[in-house]
């Protein structure tokens, strides 16, 4: 059975500037994660997930997304991995 897919909008810092980004959102019990990237490897789907504070999520379907994240999203830079 496939889990329900959610979308979240938040602010992230990219190259020193704030920008709005939309990401996939997943829940695991009381924990919340944004999916930064995913790739398919054979029959497997590998995901890079970042845990976020679920208390900072606010439902807001009027903004063409399921949730708005009121916290800071610190996204990794691929060149630093």
Higher pLDDT, 32 or 15: 32
Higher pLDDT, 10 or 2: 10
Residue 27: the pLDDT is: 93
For 16-60, what is each residue's pLDDT tens digit? 778 888 899 999 989 999 998 899 999 999 998 889 999 999 998
Please give the full DSSP string across 4-20, using - where no structure is assigned: PPEEEEEEEEETTEEEE
Domain boundaries of the chain, sorted by first residue:
6-73
Model confidence at 1, pLDDT cuts 50, 70, 90, reads: very low
Write the CB contacts of 1 (distance below 8 Å, at least 6 apart in sequence).
Answer: none
Residue 32: the pLDDT is: 93
């Amino acid at each position: 059975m496939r889990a329900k897919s959610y979308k979240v909008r938040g602010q992230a810092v990219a190259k020193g500037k704030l920008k709005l980004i939309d990401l996939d959102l997943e829940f695991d019990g009381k924990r919340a994660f944004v999916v930064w990237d995913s790739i398919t490897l054979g029959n497997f789907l590998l995901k890079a997930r970042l845990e976020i504070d679920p208390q900072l999520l606010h439902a807001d379907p009027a903004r063409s997304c399921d949730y708005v994240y009121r916290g800071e999203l610190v996204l990794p830079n691929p060149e630093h991995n």
